[in-house]
Amino acid sequence: MQFMLLFSRQGKLRLQKWYVPLSDKEKKKITRELVQTVLARKPKMCSFLEWRDLKIVYKRYASLYFCCAIEDQDNELITLEIIHRYVELLDKYFGSVCELDIIFNFEKAYFILDEFLLGGEVQETSKKNVLKAIEQADLLQESQMSSSKSGIEYPSSCRTRAALKVIPPTLLHWAMMSEADGDMAIEVEPSHQYSITFYCRITDGNRRAV
């Protein structure tokens, strides 16, 4: 895949991801031309476009157009499904996603995209695995937030985690480990490491008890 663009029916760009090195000027030109061309197409027309030497595959979801550029020998239909899978992922993550979600949380949308497509190729096709990776990073964020909010008040973060029952125990372990590492590097002395790892075990036990 060469690039992916998300834009609204009004032609406003919502997301752009380029997998080929291009100058800003070229990017702008391509975006402008492409948005115009795609918006001009009628709903009954097919979702593929031959544009310059590329194939454009686009699909409209509500007010948002998802648009991918692929090479001629690539499979157009599977690209359509890539778009669809991405929408599914967004949907699952945001809970019935709408354009506003993407507008206001575009960085999240990027994170999800990066877990799904990497360097223009499908990285992970299992929906579960993608969300797992995202959630785990978010978990960190949350725990970081909570831990920073209340100093070293662990039980609250424990509650947060307990709520996320979908996460398998192994992952929980990992997440906590990384959290420990992450915070440790900044503020906690090495001697605390013991207490934290120890704590993790307790939470694990707790969670099982719950």
Partner 1 sequence: MSDVVERTLGVLPALLGQHEPGAGPGGAGGPHRLSASSRLGSLIRNITALTSKHEEEKLIQQEITSLKAMVSAPTTSLRLMKECMVRLIYCEMLGYESSFGYIHAIKLAQQGNLLEKRVGYLAVSLFLHENHELLLLLVNTVVKDLQSTNLVEVSMALTIVSQIFPREMIPAVLPLIEDKLQHSKEIIRRKAVQALYKFYLIAPNQVQHIHDKFRKALCDRDVGVMAASLHIYLEMIKENSSGYKDLTESFVIILKQVVGGKLPIDFNYHSVPAPWLQIQLLRILGLLGKDDPRTSELMYDVLEESLRRAEINHNITYAILFECVQTIYTIYPKSELLEKAAKCIGKFVLSPQINLKYLGLKALTCVIQQDPNLALEHQMTIIECLDHPDPIIKRETLEILYRITNGHNVVVIVQKMLDYLKETKEEYAIITLAGKIAELAEKYAPNNEWFIQTMNAVFSVGGDVLYPDIPNNFLRLLAEGFDDGKEDKQLRTYAVRSYLALLEEENVFYPQKFLQVMSWVLGEYSSLATDVDPETILTRLHNLLKKTFVTSETKAWIMAAVTKIASRASFSKTVDKLIQEFSSSLDTCMRQHTFELKHLCEDKVLMKGLLPFDASCNDMVVDASLSFLDEFVAEGLGQGAAPYKPHHQRQEEKLSQEKALNFEPYGLSFASSVSSSGIAGRQSPTGLSFGSDTSGNSTEMGHKETNTLKLEGVRKLWGKEGYLPKKESKVGKEDEPQTVSCSSLLARRVAETPVSKSDQVSSLSEEEKEKQQLASTLFVGLGSNANVSLMGKVDLSTQKFKRKSKVDKAQSNEEALNMQNSAASDFGPLVDTVPITKEDCDGDKHTTLRKPSLCSSDTVGETLQSVKKPGLDDKLSDSRLSPLSLFADSNIEILQPSPSSQCENANKTVLLPSLAEELEELPHSEVAELCQSDALALYLCKVWKDDSLLLVVFVSNKNPSALNAVNVVFEKEQHFQILESPACQFPVIEAQSVGHCQKCVRMDKLCTQGVISGFVNYQSEMETHLEFSIPLSLLDFIRPMKMTTEDFGKLWLSLSNDVKQNIKMPSSQDSISAALSVLHQKLKLHIVDIIGNEGILACQLLPSVPCLLHCRTHSGMLALWFRSPCSALPDGLLYQCQKVMEES
Q: At what angle do helices 106-116 and 127-149 cross, to 10 degrees?
A: 140
DSSP string, 113-162: HHHHEETTEE----HHHHHHHHHHHHHHHHHHHHHHHTSS-HHHHHHHHH
Q: Where on the chain is the footprint of partner 1 (CB under 8 A)?
A: 13-19, 21-24, 28, 31, 42, 44-53, 75-78, 80-81, 84-85, 103-104, 106-107, 110-111, 114, 118-119, 121-129, 133, 136-137, 140-141, 144-145, 147-149, 151, 174, 177-178, 181-183, 185-187
CB of 128 to partner 1, least distance (A): 5
- Strands 121-122 and 3-8, sheet pairing: unpaired
Rounded Cα gap, residues 84 and 88, in angstroms? 6
Decide whether 114 or 204 has the Cβ nearer to partner 1. Answer: 114
Beta bridge partners of 67: 5, 58
CB of 37 to partner 1, least distance (A): 8
CB of 95 to partner 1, least distance (A): 19
Decide whether 51 or 210 has the Cβ nearer to partner 1. Answer: 51
CB of 70 to partner 1, least distance (A): 12
Decide whether 191 or 209 has the Cβ nearer to partner 1. Answer: 191
CB of 27 to partner 1, least distance (A): 9
Decide whether 128 or 201 has the Cβ nearer to partner 1. Answer: 128
Q: Which residues, at least 6 apart from 162, have a Cβ–Cβ distance to it below 8 Å?
A: 206, 207, 210
Q: Where are the alpha helices (DSSP H) in the chain?
A: 24-40, 76-94, 99-104, 106-116, 127-149, 154-163, 169-186, 192-209
Decide whether 10 or 209 has the Cβ nearer to partner 1. Answer: 10
Decide whether 72 or 208 has the Cβ nearer to partner 1. Answer: 72
Cβ atoms within 10 Å of 76's Cβ, excluding its own: 17
